[in-house]
Structure 1
Amino acid sequence: MAATFGAAQVLVASNRGPVSYELGEDGSLHAKRGGGGLVSGLSAIGPDTGALWVCSALGEGDRQAVRTGVGEPGVRMLDIPADVHADAYNGIANSVLWFVHHMLYQTPLEPVFDAEFRRQWASYEAYNLAFAEALAAEAAPGAAVLVQDYHLTLVPGQLRELRPDLRIGHFSHTPWAPPEYFRMLPDDIAAQVLRGMLGADRLGFLTRRWADAFTACATQFADGLGETAVGVHGLGADADFLRRRSHEADVDERMAALREEIGPGRRTIVRVDRTELSKNIVRGMLAYRALLEDHPEWRERVVHVAFAYPSRQDLAVYRDYTAEVQRVASAINEEYGTEGWTPVVLHVKDDFARSLAAYRLADVALVNPIRDGMNLVAKEVPVVSDEGCVLLLSREAGAWEELGEDAVGVNPYDVSGTAAALHEALVMGAGERAERTKRLSAAATALPPAQWFLNQLDALRG
């Protein structure tokens, strides 16, 4: 059997890979490359280390690429059947595990773990097994495998059975649910998730809070951690990339356009998020409305620049949430807007250059998730800010652990409290604002993406 082992010494597994393919009208394939911490991390270990990224084909372009043998060096894309992927990704990962770890369920009505759930769970098992089998085939003897996130919780255990010689790590980019919420899962499913995770030699989490929550679940519902080590790696912002990218010509163009929309001499409260249920965009807008109501002196003097980029629009609950964000923004503008002042400037089309422009212009950054594994926006804004920016940060964001001392903290459910914090931020003196921004930027960049990846790899191999 040893002769069937692959040659990869370092492997990464994630649902989404570093490249995707779009199918042109003429049938041609166009590659689109992604960025992020894993990409920079893999590039940091050098081209001679035999690294391989295993990912899933996500669309018809990806599937066509796999079927016709089109690919990138160092990437293996899996052509998992579209219906299996949809059940695993939307039915289980995003509609069950994400909801559990972010504690998003409206419990009088949901969840309902019925026969349909069991059918989708079988797809989740098959999807994870496809990854485990691919990793087992590609990994060299004793190779290091870094499995990513809640989409692939079963892979470490499955892979351990196939290849006990490997060093297996898993990293969670989300929170981990506390035991009293995690136990909402059917007992056998909760046990299966924990067994899958505990197949790893080492588990990584973004904060000590999430690591402790997992340990508590393993203690209560499994036989403890066993041989599995648990570590914390707080992913930081990529300062060099952000500072360089935020001063390119397209960002300057977006800044000019935003200044036009905002109007001269006005303060800005900026938020940049996907319309993800956990991001708490609607309560943030209601807090801004309360600010205008409670402090009329801010009317016509401040604008809420809100970028709410659509997320998971194939799920009805996300489409409804996106519509509610737009409805609330329109209601505020209708109630308070004047001929020369639009209180909420809302953009829903994803535009990274425009996001960076908003970061540079922000007087206040509003980051108020109800629960978040880390929240990189909170770390990126202080790095990019031109004049210094007050960070309003939810204490339920993972970033609170590192940034809370220099941010203005908010309870994400307290709209009145958030409105008061917005006022506090807007009246903060320029000197204090600049000093806070400087300290926030240093904390936010303490563990840049490449080093974050290498630290995990070193710990796994050690």
Structure 2
Amino acid sequence: MVQTEAHPDPAGGSAPILVASNRGPVSFTVEDDGSLSLKRGGGGLVSGLSAIEDADAVWVCAALTEGDRTAARLAPSGRLDRAGYDTGGQAVRMLDIEPGTFARAYNGVANSTLWFVHHLLYNTPTAPTFDDRFRKEWASYEAYNTAFADALAEEAAPGATVLVQDYHLTLVPALLRARRPDLRIGHFSHTPWAPPEYYRMLPDDVARDVLTGVLGADRAAFLTRRWAEAFADCCEAVLGATTSRPADGDLTVLHQGRTTRIGVHGLGADADFLRERAHRPDVDSRLAGLREAVGDRKVVVRVDRTELSKNIVRGLLAYRHLLRTRPEWHDRVVHVAFAYPSRHDLPEYREYTAAVQRVAQEVNLEFGTERWQPLILHVQDDFPRSLAAYRLADVALVNPIRDGMNLVAKEIPVVSDAGCALVLSREAGAYAELGADSITVNPYDVIATAEALHQALSMPTAERTDRCKRLAAAATALPPQQWFLDQLHALD
């Protein structure tokens, strides 16, 4: 069991606001000459943190690569901003965690266990198996979380606010509270949360430690009410906790004399950034190339990582079924599918990427002609090309078997030039906000998904435009900066 004994209160640092996440806002690459090159990242957290006007705020993250580790070692106490690196005006502390410990925590527990549990991904007749190897991985996960708790305790000013992010760091809130009971601590889960009957697949002590770790926060938050309710259900079933569930406002969980509030913040798309970025020259050039490839045909777009939960293979099978059963779409539609590499250090993901490529090739061999390539698949990450596809989309296909939110479902309606119809899985978190104006599908039903694609492709232009406008409005209701500030304010 992870140890959370109280430590003497240290003097602490000067940061009034802190963010903790596995991945930080910058990354480093070691060049051939041994020098380091820096790349600044994007995403909701980066946009959100920019809303903080306090220059003393600190972002604590892990070194993910050898370049990151080198930079962290060269910086005083890992503080990249104090070593002259361009961190975008943000104070960043990067933790040089021992590579083996990091790999076991990140791949063995976070991505191969907690991610699989919350996305219901296990093939249960054969997996999981919690043996001696897992116990070593779990010990590394504890050590990894402890490193974050120690760094946050050192950096935080008295009474500071700390926002801990995601399934990588579920133990941090309780560990940090033991070290710094003066702090206001929040935890945010970007994934779904498993229902109790699936969550209890975890070893009993691990299941308890993850829940009590999160409950170390003053407030734990989720992307949808559905995931918040599932967390509360697990607290009741596993810990025997008492919950309160008002129709409006935060849920609460009472356990061992402490009350943790449970909130919901549905992260939205950054409309201003997306619309500006989608009309830069690099996007325009890729858009021209895509238009040349598809001609005057209608376009079904999907943009995903080759993540098991994204359900890409069934989406391709649904498109194949559409072409088999609706020959009127032959030579009149092109499916543009971007499936970008994800977690290729795990064998399941390498096999899944190969399956995506195999099915795509089969579709083109079965239906392709000299003048028509029915499916265009790209597996090399290219953000400008993704935005070009967003603009071109007549139909967006988002059919995950389970997803915390799925920002692609929110981004495409915002960027689409002519307005698009959205075919959306009811298992995506985004369904809670976008379901009314989407064509909803059961992600396991290939035939129903094919019919939904036909309905979307056949939708009258006026209806498609109206729906897309409402989708875009719902998708941008809580942009990243406000999403982040709302969490801060909720801890006041």
TM-score range, shorter chain: over 0.9
Q: Tell me, in whole angstroms, the C-alpha distance in 2 between the residues paired with 1:417 and 1:190.
A: 36
For structure 1, which segment, 223-232 or 64-73, has the greater mean C-alpha deviation from structure 2 after superposition? 64-73
User: TM-score normalised to the size of structure 1?
Assistant: 0.98
Q: Answer yes or no: is the 8 Å Cα contact 2:423–2:439 preserved in 1.
A: yes
Query: Using the alignment, how far apart are the partners of 2:26 and 2:16 within structure 1?
Result: 21
Shift of 1:35: 1.2
8 A contact 2:9–2:180 mirrored in 1: no
- Matched ranges for 1:294-373 at <5 A: 294-373=325-404
Q: 2-side partners of 1:303 and 1:357: how far apart?
A: 15
For 2:284, what is the secondary structure of its paired residue?
Answer: helix
Structure 1, 28-37 or 351-360: larger mean CA deviation:
28-37
Please state if 1:13 is matched with 2:35.
Answer: no
Q: Quote the residue 1:128 is aligned against.
A: 145
In structure 1, C-alpha distance between the alignment counterparts of 2:453 and 2:50, rounded to whole Å = 41
CA distance, structure 1, for counterparts of residue 115 and residue 433 of structure 2 = 23
* Residue type at the aligned position of 1:215: A
Cα shift at 1:4: 3.0
Q: Measure, in 1, the Cα distance between the counterparts of 2:381 and 2:337.
A: 12
State the 1:38 CA deviation.
1.4
Aligned to 2:261: 229
1:31 pairs with 2:38: yes
TM-score (norm 2): 0.92
Residue 71 of structure 1 pairs with residue 102 of structure 2: no
Select the residue among 33, 38, 55 that pairs with 2:61. 55
Unaligned runs of 5+ in 2: 1-7, 82-89, 242-252
Structure 2 distance, partners of 1:414, 1:459, is 40
Q: How does 1:189-208 map to 2 (within 5 A)?
A: 189-208=206-225
The match for 2:278 is: 246
Q: Deviations over 1:152-203 (max 9, x none)?
A: 0000011111111100000000000000100100111100111101100000
One-letter amino acid of the structure 2 residue matched with residue 170 of structure 1: H
Partner of 1:40: 47
Q: Look up the SS of the partner of 1:379 in the other structure.
A: helix
Shift of 1:31: 1.0
Q: Percent identity?
A: 69
Q: Identify the residue that residue 209 of structure 1 maps to in structure 2.
A: 226
Superposition deviation, residue 261 in structure 1? 1.6
Aligned to 1:419: 450
CA distance in 2, matches of 1:435, 1:234: 23
CA offset at residue 223 of structure 1?
A: 3.6
In the other structure, the counterpart of 1:439 is: 470
- The 5 Å alignment of 1:57-136 reads 57-69=63-75, 71-72=80-81, 73-136=90-153
Q: What SS does the aligned partner of 1:176 have?
A: coil
SS at match of 2:353: helix
For residues 377 and 48 of structure 2, what CA distance do their matches in structure 1 show? 34
SS at match of 1:370: coil
1:171 pairs with 164, 182, 188, which one? 188
With 1-10 and 169-178 compared, the bigger mean Cα shift is at: 1-10
Q: 1:6 and 1:397 mapped to 2: Cα distance? A: 40
Q: What's the C-alpha RMSD, in Å, of the aligned pairs?
A: 0.9
CA displacement at 1:2 relative to structure 2 = 6.1
What is the alpha-carbon distance in structure 2 between the residues aligned to residue 148 and residue 71 of structure 1? Answer: 20
Query: C-alpha deviations, 1:82-133, integer Å up to 9, x for none?
Result: 0000000000000000000000000010000111001100000000000000
- The question of 1:188 aligning with 2:205 is answered yes
Match of 2:414 among 353, 363, 383: 383
Q: Is the 8 A contact 2:300 2:396 kept in 1?
A: yes
1:398 aligns with 2:429: yes
**Aligned partners of 2:282, 2:198: CA distance in 1, in Å?**
45
Instruction: Describe the SS at the equivalent of 2:201.
Output: coil
The change in CA–CA distance for 1:2 and 1:104 in structure 2 (over 3 A counts) is closer
Name the CA distance, whole Å, in 1 between partners of 2:170 and 2:54: 28
SS of aligned partner of 2:80 = coil
**CA–CA distance in structure 2, aligned partners of residues 32 and 158 of structure 1:** 31
Give 3-state SS (helix, strand or coil) of 1:20's partner: strand
CA distance in 2, matches of 1:193, 1:115: 19
- Counting only pairs closer than 5 Å after superposition, residues 135-174 of structure 1 correspond to structure 2 as 135-174=152-191
Shift of 1:3: 6.4
Q: Deviation per CA, 1:42-81, whole angstroms, max 9, x where unpaired?
A: 1111143x20000000000011101112723510000000
Please list every run of at least 4 consecutive aligned residues from structure 1 whose deviation after the TM superposition is greater than 2 angstroms.
Answer: 1-4
